[in-house]
Structure 1
Amino acid sequence: MTQNIRSLSTYILMNKAFINGKWIDSLENKSFGILNPASQKVIGNVPDLTIEQVNSSILLAHDSFDKWKKISGKERGHILRKWFDLMIKNKEALAALITQENGKTMKESLTEIELGASYIEWFSGEAPRINGDILTSPKREKQLLVFKEPLGVCAFITPWNFPSAMIARKVGPALAAGCTCVLKPSEETPLSALALAKKDRKKEKQKGKNKSFFFFFNKLSQEAGLPPGVFNVLTCSTKSNSDVGKLLCTHPLISKISFTGSTKIGKILLSHCSQGIKKTSMELGGNAPFIIFPSADLKKALSGLIASKFRCSGQTCVCANRILVHADIYDEFARLLKEEVGDMPVGPGNDPATDIGPLINKAAADNIEALLEDSVLKGAKVSAGGKRLGETFFEPTVLQHVTPDMRIYQEEIFGPVASLIKFSTEEEAVEIANSTPFGLASYFYSRDVEQIWRVKSSLHFGMVGINEGIITTAEAPFGGVKYSGFGYEGSKYGIEEYLHKKYVCWSV
């Protein structure tokens, strides 16, 4: 069945944007193609919406907000729970779509759908638990009350590396809080975003177009019960990004902007948001250290590193970016890593044998080539991999003798390259780890309990993984510090990003 889904993925009718419960084309009849990173073939086309249509979607979301916020948290929770059930029911189809437009392996795509669904499930439980407070008053005749209310229309700009889970992590708490949503997914991977909606089954049957597979993919938000205008998906090309982003950040009816992407773009969006004093959440770039101390279980550290470094072909913001290995175990760990990496097959994500899929596009592969060239010229050694395979494929690579003067030491790699750095003392490792303006994720492996307590307190990052390479879960807050942004997604803290506190002083 999965094969049939893949073969029909170029005709899933996800060729329209989703606004106010309707599927629409561009007013100017413009569209852009979506490439499969593995084959470099167009798998679908979506509308390049005009600024007027983006503005219209905001107005419609605002009109829907007044009704949606009045629905009880318990009822909103029921709707989100139905959405979760539909995602799980259709996870293979949704995963196949991710693999088509993003390139990651089917195993990873399935994991992403399950992760995204877990956020919807989590916030379905948080929706009925939005509680205010009664404060102690300094005077008997006054009652001091605090109510939590939804912000309003929230705009989301999401990246291509987690085209489904990243949306669920943002939209889930917003909807649970009572906000309405305008989503601008990456132009590289908009199909997974559109797959979170459903076209009217009755009308489509009347038209007789691709009945079975269209509905198989598009049976989520509307079937779950989300009213029109509450969840809107805008499709915009690269040429439109700047204008659309600016409009979302400056529009007076947008109450909140949540962005995941590069620090460079985040700064631009924050500048726009300052004009309207918008509430914002920013998940920006990372440069995660992965420290292996002498007391570490090397097999466990190796397994954690492989999971952290090579997931999505190394294209995640929380990937291990700088791998710091103590001098006493450096040679042994490098040998183990080289052996492990040498056994990782490279290929299309829909091949069950594949461990490393393609990079998202040719520019990404060009960047990895440039980083490796710079490193080798400055003294680094490629001990495994290092070769580009076609337009977008790259061998998993181990790079040794990395030093601070190399670009790969300073920059977010976003590719399947493990760069090893040798250190001698705990203090040196912590200093190297913190010597970056970024502060998203960090990792270290140790079995020394006293060292664990020291190091976890010394790392200047929003998240720390101790003897664990995969730390993201719906139950925990996800967020960074410094140039990696601010605000939290997931956990009991995530819904607070979409609520404001209204203080009421009642004189009796």
Structure 2
Amino acid sequence: MHYPIKVPGAVAAGIIEVFSPYDGKPIGTVECIDAKGAELALKNLAAVFHDRNNWLPAHERIAILERAALTIQARSEQLITIAIAEGGKPYSDTKVELLRAIDSIKISIDCIRSARGTEIPMQLNPASMNRLAFTHREPIGPVVAVSAFNHPLNLIAHQVAPAIAAGCPVVIKPARETPLSAFALVDIFHQSGLPVAWCQPVMIEDNNVTEQLVTDKRVAFFSFIGSAEIGWMLRSKLAPGTRCALEHGGIAPVIIAEDADLDKILPLMAKGGFYHAGQVCVSVKRIYAHRSIARKVATGLGALAGHMTVGNPAGVGTDIGPLIRHEEVDRVESWVNEAIAENAELITGGKRLSSSLYQPTVLLNPSVQSKVSQQEIFGPVICVYEYDNIDEAIEQANSLPYAFQAAIATQNIDTALYAFKHLAASTVTINDHTAFRVDWMPFAGLRESGYGTGGIPYTFRDMQVEKMAIFHSPSL
């Protein structure tokens, strides 16, 4: 599978090879751009946006998105195969992701249909007499989006579909490890009637070129999904006036009270922690369980982990696939071994199965100073900590510079509401895992976990500006 350069007028500056994270086999190639290609991509964005007479009207944007959704559905197995091969997420979960990508496009269509301005009251004082004012929404301008590897279909849909819906031309740079899904999706948007210059997927090997693309003064909005280190650095270099949204990682905390229904909650915690080998920004990572049940929670999770199938992500029965890079397995192994050396109790797992696979692992009472307690492990590891009172658990849950989604498991409404009030998080789920998400809800990292709010309607709104018209007439 090979994708040529997609920037009109640009010349390829090299080829990126894509390999399976599971077995290392080559699965495709993508041509990449250099500084000259990035400049052409920016010129293309600016040109189509500044030609206001040829902006895509709402009915055309709706038709393009409708055709794209139907085509993605028709090619679902092909797209699932590509995403599994390059990303390593098991088949059943990748199928869910593809359905979410289709839904993300449909939600974007709904955003177009429901977008509206408002009337601004006038004639409320002598100065505003004989006036009528209202607003409507226009596209903010050229968008540059940088995406992550862990959801190669739906993340692209989350960044590209709202841009199309809002009327913004967009350049999308997928992750180095998973560009094939992005290029395949953009091809579908083009085949569905979107002019090529309105959506240009690019691959870049030189980080300086990526920075050139993102920080150019012609960029009106920057969308980033990836590591905090890179996201905050790029935000600090944005041109004056460029707006942005950043989605980084977290170390999602869960509090399990002594009255929680463990039979119901533990399978959810196992899914939320081990889904996609823990490579999700809101994966269950820290569970604070009441001392009376903490060991039962840890051993119960260990038993569930022991029944999970780890292996080839293309296998229909596989629960956990590979980590995205072999060095990530090395890192996860190192962090777990360090935690055990610092007196964490290994309940289950704790071993690599191959250069790409790591066992689902449960640790009981790691030191709060261990890396597994302080940083996002982004691997299939869940840590369980004992607590004596809920305020102690909340204090520990809130102690890190990350805040995203959190959870509380309890049968007591007062306990649930208390945790909802006091947990530092943008979302608190009750009797569910932290990785729950639907694509029309707000999804926001706080503190170092991000900036702005994701979710299709929120991204759509961010990619527009509100413009006001004021009519002055003696007839009013």
TM-score range, shorter chain: over 0.9
Distance 1:471 1:69 in 2: 40
Following the alignment from structure 2 to structure 1, what is the Cα–Cα distance between the partners of residues 54 and 277?
A: 40
Match of 1:230 among 178, 187, 198: 198
Q: How many residues align?
A: 467
Classify 1:446/1:503 alpha carbon distance in 2 versus 1 (closer, same or farther; 3 Å). Answer: same
> Who is 1:369 aligned against?
333
Q: Which SS does the other structure have where 1:115 is aligned?
A: helix
Match of 1:5 in 2: none
2:17 partner letter: G
With 95-104 and 82-91 compared, the bigger mean Cα shift is at: 82-91
Per mean C-alpha deviation after superposition, the further-off stretch among 152-161 and 396-405 is 396-405
Q: Which amino acid aligns with 1:42?
A: P
Residue 221 (structure 2) pairs with residue 256 (structure 1): yes
Give distance in 2, aligned partners of 1:344 and 1:147.
52
State the secondary structure of the residue aligned to 1:229: helix
Counterpart in the other structure of 1:212 = none
Amino acid at match of 1:500: V
RMSD, matched Cα: 1.7
Matches of 2:259 and 2:456 in 1, distance apart?
32
Pick closer, same or farther for the CA change 1:235–1:407 going to 2, 3 Å: same
CA contact under 8 A between 1:72 and 1:128: conserved in structure 2? no
Alignment pair present for 1:117 and 2:102: yes
The whole-number CA distance in structure 2 between the counterparts of 1:393 and 1:496 is: 40
Q: Quote how far apart the aligned CAs of 1:67 are.
A: 5.6
TM-score of the aligned structures, taking structure 1 as reference length: 0.89
The residue aligned with 1:486 is: 451
**Aligned 8 A contact 2:252 2:283 in 1:** yes
CA distance, structure 1, for counterparts of residue 5 and residue 400 of structure 2:
40
Please say if 1:145 is aligned against 2:145: no
Q: Which structure 2 residues correspond to residues 80-229 of structure 1 after superposition, within 5 A?
A: 80-137=65-122, 138=124, 139-198=128-187, 220-229=188-197
Written as runs of structure 1 = structure 2, the 5 A alignment for 1:68-467 is 70-137=55-122, 138=124, 139-198=128-187, 220-237=188-205, 240=206, 242-273=207-238, 275-467=239-431
Cα distance change on mapping 1:459 and 1:412 into 2, 3 Å: same
Deviations 1:433-452 (A, max 9, x none): 11111111112211111111
Q: 1:36 aligns with which of 2, 13, 20?
A: 20
- The alignment partner of 1:84 has SS state of helix
Task: Assess, with a 3 A threshold, how the Cα gap between structure 1 residues 436 and 111 changes in structure 2: closer, same or farther.
Answer: same
Query: Greater CA deviation, 340-349 or 59-68?
Result: 59-68
Q: Which amino acid aligns with 1:169?
A: H
**TM-score (normalised: structure 2):** 0.94
- 3-state SS of 1:290 partner: strand
Counterparts of 1:106 and 1:17, CA distance in 2: 29
Runs of 4+ in 1 over 6 A off after TM superposition: none
Is contact 1:25-1:47 (8 Å) kept?
A: no
Query: How much does 1:191 deviate?
Result: 0.5
Percent identity among equivalent residues? 28
Distance 1:287 1:361, change over 3 A: same
Once the 2 structures are TM-superposed, how far is the Cα of residue 506 of structure 1 from its aligned partner?
2.9
Taking structure 1 as reference, are residues 429 and 69 closer, same or farther at Cα in structure 2, changes over 3 Å only?
farther
Kindly indicate whether the alpha-carbon contact (under 8 Å) linking 1:430 and 1:459 is maintained by their aligned counterparts in 2. yes
2:48 touches 2:55 (CA, 8 Å); kept in 1? no
1:245 to partner: Cα distance: 2.6
What's the offset of the Cα at 1:424? 1.4
Pick from 18, 27, 31 the counterpart of residue 6 of structure 2. Answer: 18
* Distance in 2 (alpha carbons) for counterparts of 1:144 and 1:117: 38
Q: Matched residues in 2 for 1:194 and 1:439: separation? A: 32
Displacement of 1:69: 7.1
Give the whole-Å Cα distance in 1 for the aligned partners of 2:376 and 2:287: 13
Match of residue 472 from structure 1: 437
C-alpha change, 1:282 and 1:226, in structure 2 (3 Å) is: same
Q: Return the letter of the residue paired with 2:257.
A: F
> Comparing 189-198 with 470-479, which one deviates more in the overlay?
470-479
Task: Output the CA distance in 2 between the equivalents of 1:392 and 1:489.
Answer: 31
Cα deviation for residue 249 of structure 1 reads: 2.5
The corresponding residue for 1:209 is: none
Cα-to-partner distance string for 1:151-188 (whole Å, 9 max, x where unaligned): 11100000111111111111111111111110011111
What is the rounded CA distance, in whole Å, between the counterparts of 1:85 and 1:464 in structure 2? 34
Q: CA deviation at 1:489?
A: 2.1
Amino acid at match of 2:120: L
Letter in 2 for 1:292: I
The answer (yes or no) to whether the contact 2:148–2:225 under 8 Å persists in 1 is yes
Q: How far apart are the structure 1 equivalents of 2:11 and 2:19?
A: 20
Q: Name structure 1 gaps, 5 residues minimum.
A: 1-11, 199-219
Counterpart contact for 1:77–1:126, Cα < 8 Å: no
How much has 1:25 moved relative to structure 2? 5.7
- What SS does structure 1 have at the residue aligned with 2:237? helix
* Secondary structure at 1:304 match in 2: helix
Distance of 2:355 and 2:231 partners within structure 1: 29
Q: Deviations over 1:303-359 (max 9, x none)?
A: 211221111110010101211111111122222111111111211101223211110
Q: CA deviation at 1:248?
A: 2.2
The alpha-carbon distance between structure 1 residues 306 and 67, as it changes in their structure 2 partners (threshold 3 A), is farther
